[in-house]
Amino acid sequence: MAETTEAPAGNGLPKGFRGAELGWPELHRIPHPPHRLPLLGDVIGASRRTPVQDSLRYARQLGPIFRRRAFGKEFVFVWGAELAADLADESRFAKHVGLGVANLRPVAGDGLFTAYNHEPNWQLAHDVLAPGFSREAMAGYHPMMLAVAERLTAHWDRAQAAGRSVDVPGDMTKLTLETIARTGFGHDFGSFERPRLHPFVTAMVGTLTYAQRLNTVPAPLAPWLLRGASRRNRTDIDHLNRTVDEVVRARRGARGEGDLLDRMLETTHPETGERLSAENVRRQVITFLVAGHETTSGALSFALHYLARHPDVAARARAEVDRVWGDAAAPGYEQVAKLRYVRRVLDESLRLWPTAPAFSREARADTVLAGTHPMRRGAWALVLTPMLHRDPEVWGPDAERFDPDRFDVGAVRSRPPHTFKPFGTGARACIGRQFALHEATLVLGLLLRRYELRPDPGYRLRVTERLTLMPDGLRLWPTRRTGAPAFAAPVAEQAPSEPRCPVRGPGD
């Protein structure tokens, strides 16, 4: 595993950060936005709230590799398919913990997502937890996913009866948080019984937003410019830690449920016999609770937006659900994988708006990117995934158009590898990919079978950024379909009438 190069001490930046000017000997050959200002860099026309969407705009202007300068540091962005494929070569490149991700280390530490390559706990946790995402484990999670989905549909039924629209991102956040909490940790946040988001979610959004804000101010000035935000961030981190500590404390000494938390607490490494430390267990639980629901909720929200805006696609997907699932009250695990067109809808939504919008790669040794751009060991680039997914040389001149048939079998086989990367790449790609895809496909199938979805005709897609991407202000009107089979989760997995092991925040 490549050792992550580290920034010099005392520069105010997270450990692991180095500007591109230190690693790209011919940086001057890479284009940058016009109107660059001394000291401030490429800030004209940029927004602190939408750095990803700003970068998409620059990418269209500047081409498949470009750079941006902010507060004296250079950042190299890549989106061309040939360049991205070269960066995916595991023999020459490894994951780089980029600036935004490094800003999350105060809360997630050396968790799976935020660990540096040379930190031993990453491999230990990965090897211990990987069986928790096997096919057998996934089949065991399926009934709990159904139980949480039933709580969502009950909530939407009440909204329809009252003539109300539903807050799609908010409800998808509740759904995915409850799903990962119940399947992974045997915990119930009671999200659908609350009038507002659980304080854990509020604290999580706060930490993600703060991590992004750190990217937009000069590092030495952050302690002064973000003094109030820093205090709130410490409070948010304390809340996340207390919540997770209570979940773990409730489990220790109790009868195991064979879930991810049991694996963290009880499983030893098959070769070394090592266990995860108590601190690392906390970090992994936070990592899974945050990463395991934030990106999936965004993917579901974007998919529902496109389904509501494309009734022909929704009708085709709904017909597939009716045909494959029939009159069954609840689909079995194997039936979810048979929703091939629904999965294409999900993939096409992830193509246009991958909710984890970038990943970073660093050179293991001195090399030349795609035979053109020299890179020194440790030099890194940020792969801008939404633009990689819009490369017209791969996706055609209509790459901005929503079309799930881009993911039929023939189309997928005709494309070069490494052109669709919503879950990252290589050894450090998302460990929970199959979990997220099964959950999202299941939920889309259930909602399509139960409802017609009516959009607000005046709504235009807006994307909010907090390291991840999410539709902003998206509301839909669900209408129960006549003759749709009644949905019921398996009796053994019905949601409890009272939240199990609830964690209450101050003032709840």
Q: SS3 string of 149-178?
A: HHHHHHHHHHHHHCCCCEEHHHHHHHHHHH
Quote the DSSP letter at residue 192: G
Q: How many CB atoms lie within 10 A of CB 219?
A: 18
Of the residues 176, 209, 295, 468, only one is catalytic, namely 295
- Give the tokens for residue 432: 């929970």
Q: How many CB atoms lie within 10 A of CB 225?
A: 14
Q: Are 93 and 105 in contact (CB under 8 A)?
A: no
Q: Are 95 and 366 in contact (CB under 8 A)?
A: no
- Alpha-carbon gap, residue 331 to 328, rounded angstroms: 6
Token look-up 């001195």 returns: 366
423 catalytically annotated: yes
Of the residues 93, 209, 430, 468, only one is catalytic, namely 430
Residues contacting residue 133 through CB under 8 Å, at least 6 positions apart: 431, 432, 434, 435
Give how far Cα 432 sits from Cα of 149, 285, 296, Å.
19, 13, 10
Residues contacting residue 144 through CB under 8 Å, at least 6 positions apart: 179, 182, 183, 493
- Alpha-carbon gap, residue 78 to 82, rounded angstroms: 10
183 catalytically annotated: no
- Alpha-carbon gap, residue 436 to 42, rounded angstroms: 36
- Alpha-carbon gap, residue 319 to 449, rounded angstroms: 8
Of the residues 17, 77, 407, 423, only one is catalytic, namely 423
- Give the tokens for residue 296: 């999936």
487 catalytically annotated: no
Task: Give the CA angle between residues 106, 112, 115 to the nearest 5°.
Answer: 55
Task: Work out whether the CA dihedral 301, 306, 309, 310 comes out positive or negative.
Answer: negative
| Three-class DSSP category at 469 | strand
Give me the active site residues, please.
295, 423, 430
